[in-house]
Chains A and B, each alone.
Chain A
Amino acid sequence: MNKRIVALTINGVDVQRKVASRMLLTDFIRDELKLTGTNVGCEHGVCGACTILLNGESVRSCLMLAVQADGYEIETVESLQNDNGTLNTLQQSFKDCHGLQCGFCTPGFLMTVTSFLKENEDPTEEEIREAISGNLCRCTGYANIVKSVQRTVQSQRTSKSLTEPVCHTDHKQNETVQIS
């Protein structure tokens, strides 16, 4: 089998591996590097579950070979937490706004949005919807994902944690309760 050396940086760590030239980048990340947070939903470039950052830009890792990533810097969902292990603002917003149900699509959305918010710090709802339109979610119906992104923006703008709920439609029982 045709093998080649791949050397890249993943989540800040330099790695080097000898892999089959035909190995998909997704499989390289998941099977060789054991970072299984990046998911595979379609393997044909439509669902976005496998989205990672390649030199800061979001790409679909199922459409690339590992050898094509040689020399690049990669970030995956495992890189998002704060250094002290807490959720970063985006992740926390997904939790606060119930932006995930089964969570399978979530890493892909998180990576897409991470790169999007670097380009556009103050997006409109329409721009958010457009930015995530390449990621499929079969559970949430997207509304709470959009709200999660809006809350992240709001949070980052005020740069302090928020108390007023912006996440849910008005409902008499809608005070959110933090339990963990």
Chain B
Amino acid sequence: MSKFVGQSVKRKEDLRLLTGTGKFVADLRMENMLEAAFLRSTYGHARIKGIETDAAKSLEGVYAVITSNDIEGEIKPLKQFDSHCILPPNLIEEIDPVINYNFEDVLAKRKVTYAGQPVAVVVAKNRYIAEDALALLKVEYEPLEALVNPFEAEKGDAPIIQEHMESNIQSHFLVQVGDVDKAIEEADYVLKKRLRTPRLSSNPMETRGVLANYDAVTGKFRVWSSTQLPYEVRSTIASLLEIPEESIHVTAPEVGGGFGPKGGVHPEEILIPYLSRMLGRPVRWIEDRIEHLAAARQSRDQIHDVEVSYKKDGTITGIKDDFIVDSGAVNYFALTCAYNTAYHLRGMYKIPSYQSKCRVILTNKTPNVPFRGAGRPEATFVMDRVIDMIARNLAMDPVDVMKKNMIQAEEMPYDQGILVKDGAQLIYDSGNYPDALDKVLEATNYKGFRKKQQQLKEAGKYVGIGISSFIEGTGSGPFESALVKIDLTGHVTAHLGSSPQGQGHETVFSQICADDLGVTPDQVTVVVGDTGVLPIGAGTYASRSAVNAGSAIHEASQKLQRKVLEIAGMLLDNEVEMLNIENGTIYAHDNPEMKLTFVDIANAARPSKSSKLPEGMEPGLQVLHYFVPPTVTFASSIHVAQVEVDKETGFVDIQDYSVVHDCGTVINPMIVEGQVQGGIAQGIGSALYEEVVHDKNGQVLTGSYMDYLIPTSMEVPTVKMVHQEYPSTRNPMGIKGVGEGGAISPPAAIANAVVDALTPLSIEITKVPVSPGYLRELIKEAERV
């Protein structure tokens, strides 16, 4: 019976964030705290001949200047995050992957491989002095050829970035189903295109930051990091410094946005604890925005060469995709984004023959990691540009091409014939895509728009409409943990292994727990983001928290409820089935006057000689549950953008944006809608504005907010949303993830709308962002023809 699940319960987090009392890492200070600043590579690729540190060391207020020489043998290098990378044997057999070992020293040793890489660190009385000292450091570099184009980097004679490797191809795989070559041979038409998605910087408004304090008496580290994964930070510090996990306590305090790149562990999160131990004082480092734009890990950056076979009626019979991921100097996440792209590409469509061949290539750029969508926006851009191109080639409406190929409701659950990354068969569990399409076309008034479009075009207004759809495997494993307990005052506390960066965990998980235990959300305290309270946890990434942490807290709460009822049954001398919990009191239907509270139950369950427990029951009122999902569960969505293009300037104005989405059982509609709207804003950024640009030497040209453009309130419309609710069949509450979805479709939907707006002028968008410069070039080219 749900009372709170499904309601727009207001957030518990808000009070402290609205009054400026919430504490982000940069708000934490400790007595005797020192501050660190990093010297970063100014070259994309260069040998380090020497570093002159004397002047910096002798500056008053400087406590340490550290280069790779000083930590030789003391800190192991960062390598791929195995917890996200290990492939199951059946998948290995199916896709025949090669993944070469690659790594990064926490401070560059002998050579630098990307601009922004940490080369030295200064610890000083405060940040001002630390930065003065940075200016006194002199590094002698010998520039090497920088590889910024992955097609150059993969050539046999290219300089090798990770010198122990034989080439810059770090990994590759091949996945296929059906017979794509035959499909191409037999096709009425074949479309051949190269499509690309840009390199992006995630830009949470709070940059990264770490504070560490080593206590020499206990030999323990206390670490606060602006991370999505406190447990991963703990295990990585432990393995790189070769100390037990037990001696490290990591807290993610308020975290001001994450979106992916704050998952995984960066070199600074290892060095700051190390420096605290070395100096015997607390040390803090707060990334500045300029560092973030160069050195915080980046994402996307794929190039696809697709061949698509299709019939005269718009039926797509095969897709052959040969794509590369430009991984930057290190690939930390093996096939995570790449295989996501491969298994999501066909989306809502039944395309019987499919082949996806991928190479992950190292270049002299910042390492590429998952960012909201993680390989799916790339796949969706390819698929939905293809649908649009086919429609134009056949003079059909894109909606008709979508319908021709779409999986029907009665075909669900639908098996796509390949495997998910966790080794499970790729089967969409629930949803109704044709209904979704009808709903969103109605919301955007597609027919009305088409009618009016012709007139507007005749009047010289370039208006267009574009569609994009996706499915998203959400809630990936391996697991999530929840501990729910009732204390002697009757208060409920829940600990979760997954922590938020704005998603409202304290609120939504208290709703679930409240329903299960028969209390209100404000009677439940949710404590997250702290490795001190639960032995193990996974974290927040891959639209997984609602699914995994939600299921974990649900199961734990239900078990605890059962225990409470069994104890109450004994105390009331009644059958458990006769009992009810309401507002924290327990009573029997046939005797409602006799009431017990959680305080009574907690006292009865207290371990002691006089505890009153049913025979054989463990004392204590706490339940720990690990939820292990069978595989991912499929959320889905369709986006429609209406735009007007200024043909003279190339500016694109979004006039309407409508969305239908299905994330299964909704815990808190207000929060779900906020996630969708926020994701779309980021998607609009990558559709029209955002791109990290490197010059031929590997220098970052988009190093400040003057050049890296984040959408503002003027560029992001209020999105119209329509909801579907097809519960997941893969977890007890029917939840599907929603965090990433919004960011997946905007590039394709907006690009399609821009093409539509300029028709009959025939432009072909093959990449995003559709910046004014790029669009003007396309227009000029089309006009010349």
Contacts and interface: CB of A to CB of B under 8 A. Distances in A.
Interface stretch (B137-145, B324-332, B716-724): B716-724
Contacts of A135: 712-713
B128 interface: yes
B680 interface: yes
B10 A176 contact: yes
Interface in A18-46: 20, 22-23, 30-31, 35-44, 46
B135 to A, nearest CB: 13
Of the listed residues B8, B26, B205, B710, the one surrounded by the most CB atoms of chain A closer than 10 A to its CB is: B205
B103 to A, nearest CB: 30
Contact of A171 (B503, B520, B669, B717): B669
Interface string A126-166: 00111011111111111111100000000000000000000
Interface string A30-71: 110001111111111011010000000000000000000000
B685 to A, nearest CB: 9
Q: Report whether over half of chain A's contact residues are helix, strand or loop; otherwise say mixed.
A: loop
B128 A104 contact: no
Contacts of A16: none
Nearest to A97: B670
Interface in B1-60: 4, 6-15, 17-24, 26-27, 29
Contact of B670 (A104, A106, A176): A176
A168 B673 contact: yes
Nearest to B676: A141
B454 interface: no
Contacts of A105: 205, 256
B20 A177 contact: no
A168 B289 contact: no
Contacts of B321: none
A162 to B, nearest CB: 14
A173 interface: yes
A141 B21 CA distance: 24
Interface residues of A, number: 68
A45 B165 CA distance: 43
A37 B20 CA distance: 4
Contacts of A177: 4, 7-10
Contacts of B712: 132-136, 142
Contact of B680 (A35, A141, A179): A141
Interface in A73-119: 76-78, 80-81, 87, 91, 94-96, 98, 100-107, 110
22 contacts: A36-B20, A36-B23, A39-B24, A46-B704, A77-B20, A87-B15, A87-B19, A94-B18, A96-B10, A98-B674, A101-B504, A103-B14, A132-B713, A140-B678, A141-B742, A168-B673, A173-B669, A174-B670, A176-B670, A177-B8, A179-B10, A179-B520
Interface of A: 20, 22-23, 30-31, 35-44, 46-47, 49, 76-78, 80-81, 87, 91, 94-96, 98, 100-107, 110, 128-130, 132-146, 167-169, 171, 173-180
Interface of B: 4, 6-15, 17-24, 26-27, 29, 128, 203-207, 254-257, 259, 288-290, 501-504, 520-522, 666, 669-671, 673-674, 677-682, 704-706, 710, 712-714, 716-721, 723, 742
